[in-house]
Amino acid sequence: VNLNCIDTATIESVDIGDFDGANWEANIASLRGE
């Protein structure tokens, strides 16, 4: 998500983490919080 596209009045905080786009299928569980 591009943070410039989010209405700042609708969020309280943002958590930013690394994302391995080349291997996203192998890491889908971590994206889902599993």
pLDDT, one tens digit per residue, over 1-34 is 788 899 989 989 988 888 888 888 888 888 787 6
pLDDT value at position 34?
66
Closest CA relative to residue 18, chosen from 27, 26, 9: 27
Integer Cα distance of 16 and 14 in angstroms: 6
pLDDT at residue 12 in the model:
92
Domain interval for residue 25: 3-32
Task: In whole angstroms, give the CA distance from residue 14 to residue 8.
Answer: 10
Domains of the chain: total: 1
- On whether the pTM is more than 0.75, the answer is no
